[in-house]
Amino acid sequence: MLDKKIKNELMDIVGPENFTEAKIDMVSYAYDAMGSKGTPDCAVWVTTTEQVSKIMELAHRERIPVTPRAAGTGIAGMAVPSHGGIVLDIMRMDRILEINIEDRICVVEPGVVYADLQKELAPLGFTLPTEPGSSIVSAIGGNVATNAGGLKGAKYGSTKDYVLGLKVVLPDGRVLKTGSRTMKTSSGYNLTQLFVGSEGTLGIMTEIILKVVPLAKATKTGLGLFDALEDAGRAVIQTMSSGVIPSVMEVMGRYLIQAINENTDLNLPEVDTMLLVETDGYTQTEADAQMEKIIEIFKKNNASEVKLAETDAERTDLWAARKSTYPVSARLNNSILVEDVTVPMSRLADLFREFGKIIEKYDLKVAMCAHAGDGNFHPLITYDGRDKEMVAKVEKASDELFKMAIAMGGTLTGEHGIGIVKAKYMTLEHGETAMEMMRVIKRAFDPHNILNPGKMALDG
C-alpha cells in the first residue's frame, strides 16, 4: 500500500485527474492478454518526459515498483504489475512528432498506435513494415519494448530493424538519448538496441526514432492447401531457400480454419493446413513472378490446390481470416495459451512433426498458426482452465515445446517476449554466464530493481 503522502506527490506531478486507485482500474491494470499475476496500488496517465522523470525520481527515492504499460496486449505478462506499486500508462503520449521522408524517419511518442502511424505514412508512400497481428491496438512503445514482429517478418524483419534512436527515462529519473536520426552509426555501444525487447525493465521510452521504408507498389496473394502440416512445413523451407522471399508466409491449421468459419462468413476451405502467402515488389510482374515460383514449390510438396486472390476484396478476406486468429481461437474454450517458439528455418517441418506428437500424447486441442516464413511457431492451445488435470497437461506440453525448440537451436520467443510466463526457461536458453551478464546490466540501470520487477528472470 502506498501512503497518502506519496499519492499526493504523484497527483502533484500528473494532476489529480491523471491519477487513479479506483478498484475497476486496478483490476484492469492487473491484466494483459496473458492474464493476471498482480494488482497495482495505483496508476498514472503521463503525457510528458518531465512527468515520467519526476515519477521515477520519486519511485527511486521511495523504492516503489513501477510497471510501464502501453496497450496491454502483451501475451507473456510483461505489463502485469507483479510486485504492485505504480502502473505508468503511456497511452496518452500519443503524438507523431515528425515524419521526415527525406531522412526516411519518423519520430513518435510511445503511445502512438501502430495502425495510426501507418495511416499517416501510407499516403506518403511509406510504411513501418513490422505489422503485428495486434496492429490496430498495440502501441509503438509496446512494440519496441517487446521487439514485436508480425505477418511480414519473413521479408521485412522485426521492430529492432527499424529503431534508430530513443529518448529514455532511467529508473532514477535521469533522461538518456540513444542513437541518432541517421541511417547508420558505428558510434559507441548500441544502447538503442539494449532497450529494444527489454520489456520495460531498463528505462521508460518517451520518444522513438524509426526508420520507414517505401510501400510495395504491387502484391500477389495466394493460399496453398495441404493435407499434412509437415508437407506445408517443407514447402515453407524450400520456398525460403529458393531465392524468393515472400512478404507473408502464414500457416493456419484445420482446427483454426474451422473456428474461423464458425465465427465469420469467410468460408475458408476446411483442409488440414493452409499456407497464406504474399509476394510484393515494385511492379506487378515482379510480384507475379515470385508467386509463380512459390506455386511450383507448393505443388512439388503435395499442395492439393493453390488459390490466388484475384480481386482486392478476396485479398482483404484472406487477411481478415489471418487477423481473426486470436479472437476466434479465444472463443473455443475458456482458456488459451499462445506459444511463440522460433527455430532455424531448416527445422520447421521437424518442429511441426514433433509438436504433433506432443499434442497427441496430451490429447490437446490446438489451433495451429505460424509466421512460418521466419520460423516462428504460434500454436494456440485452447483448454478448460478450471480443469486442473487439463491445466497440468497444457503446462507439460508447453514445457516440452520450449525444450524441443531450444534443442533445435531455436528460441523461446520470436516476438512475444519473456515476461513472467517464460522467465523460468531463460537460463536454459541463454546459459548461466549470459544470465549473469543480463543481471549485471539490469543492476547498472536499476540498482534497486524498481522498474518492472519480476520479469525476464532478472531479479537477484
Ligand X SMILES: Cc1cc2nc3c(=O)[nH]c(=O)nc-3n(C[C@H](O)[C@H](O)[C@H](O)COP(=O)(O)OP(=O)(O)OC[C@H]3O[C@@H](n4cnc5c(N)ncnc54)[C@H](O)[C@@H]3O)c2cc1C
User: Residue 9 is which amino acid?
Assistant: E
Report the residue number, 205 or 297, with the smaller CB distance to ligand X: 205
Q: Pick out residues in 120-149 that bind ligand X (CB under 6 A).
A: 132-134, 138-139, 141-143, 145-146, 148-149
Q: Is 70 in the site for ligand X (CB under 6 A)?
A: yes
Report the residue number, 99 or 338, with the smaller CB distance to ligand X: 338
Q: Pick out residues in 424-453 that bind ligand X (CB under 6 A).
A: 452
Chosen residue from 6, 71, 252, 291 binding ligand X by CB under 6 A: 71
User: Residue 192 is which amino acid?
Assistant: T
Report the residue number, 143 or 221, with the smaller CB distance to ligand X: 143
Q: Is 90 in the site for ligand X (CB under 6 A)?
A: yes
Give Cβ neighbours of residue 209 (< 8 Å, ≥ 6 apart): 105, 106, 107, 163, 164, 165, 166, 179, 180, 181
Pick the stretch among 68-76, 214-222, 351-359, 423-431 that binds ligand X (CB under 6 A): 68-76
Q: Cβ 282 to ligand X, closest distance in Å? A: 26
Residue 61 Cα to chain centre, angstroms: 33
Q: Pick out residues in 159-218 that bind ligand X (CB under 6 A).
A: 199-200, 204-205
Chosen residue from 207, 230, 415, 446 binding ligand X by CB under 6 A: 415
Q: How many CB atoms lie within 10 A of CB 65?
A: 22
Q: Pick out residues in 253-292 that bind ligand X (CB under 6 A).
A: none
Chosen residue from 38, 65, 68, 373 binding ligand X by CB under 6 A: 68
Output the residue with the shortest Cβ distance to ligand X.
142
Q: Cβ 147 to ligand X, closest distance in Å? A: 8
Report the residue number, 271 or 372, with the smaller CB distance to ligand X: 372
Report the residue number, 198 or 301, with the smaller CB distance to ligand X: 198
Report the residue number, 191 or 289, with the smaller CB distance to ligand X: 191
Q: Is 73 in the site for ligand X (CB under 6 A)?
A: yes
* Phi and psi angles of residue 126, each rounded to the nearest 5 degrees, phi first: -125, 165
> Edge-to-edge strand order for the sheet containing 335-338?
335-338, 380-383, 365-367
Chosen residue from 83, 416, 422, 442 binding ligand X by CB under 6 A: 416
Q: Cβ 449 to ligand X, closest distance in Å? A: 14
Pick the stretch among 70-78, 266-274, 350-358, 387-395 that binds ligand X (CB under 6 A): 70-78
Report the residue number, 303 or 401, with the smaller CB distance to ligand X: 401
Q: Cβ 168 to ligand X, closest distance in Å? A: 7
Report the residue number, 69 or 234, with the smaller CB distance to ligand X: 69
> Is the separation of the CB atoms in 407 and 335 below 8 Å?
no
Report the residue number, 326 or 362, with the smaller CB distance to ligand X: 326
Q: Cβ 290 to ligand X, closest distance in Å? A: 23
Q: What is the 3-state secondary structure (H, E, C) of the chain?
A: CCCHHHHHHHHHHHCHHHEECCHHHHHHHCECCCCECCCCCEEEECCCHHHHHHHHHHHHHHCCCEEEECCCCCCCCCCCCCCCCEEEECCCCCCEEEEECCCCEEEECCCCEHHHHHHHHHHHCEECCCCCCCCCCCEHHHHHHHCCCCCCHHHHCCHHHHEEEEEEECCCCCEEEEECCCCCCCCCCCHHHHHCCCCCCCCEEEEEEEECEECCCEEEEEEEEECCHHHHHHHHHHHHCCCCCCCEEEEEEHHHHHHHHHHCCCCCCCCCEEEEEEEEECCHHHHHHHHHHHHHHHHHCCCCEEEECCCHHHHHHHHHHHHCHHHHHHCCCCEEEECCCECCHHHHHHHHHHHHHHHHHHCCEEECEEEHHHCEECCEEEECCCCHHHHHHHHHHHHHHHHHHHHCCCECCCCCCCCCCCHHHHHHHHHHHHHHHHHHHHHHHCCCCCECCCCCCCCC
Report the residue number, 53 or 67, with the smaller CB distance to ligand X: 67
Report the residue number, 195 or 402, with the smaller CB distance to ligand X: 195
* Phi and psi angles of residue 371, each rounded to the nearest 5 degrees, phi first: -80, 75
Chosen residue from 10, 13, 26, 32 binding ligand X by CB under 6 A: 32
Distance CA 426, CA 457 (A): 7
Report the residue number, 145 or 274, with the smaller CB distance to ligand X: 145
Chosen residue from 81, 85, 129, 150 binding ligand X by CB under 6 A: 150
Q: Is 75 in the site for ligand X (CB under 6 A)?
A: yes
Chosen residue from 40, 74, 165, 373 binding ligand X by CB under 6 A: 74
Binding-residue pattern over the window 309 to 338 for ligand X, x denoting contact by CB under 6 A: -----------------x------------
The residues binding ligand X (CB under 6 A) are 32-33, 67-75, 78-79, 90, 110, 132-134, 138-139, 141-143, 145-146, 148-150, 199-200, 204-205, 326, 415-416, 452
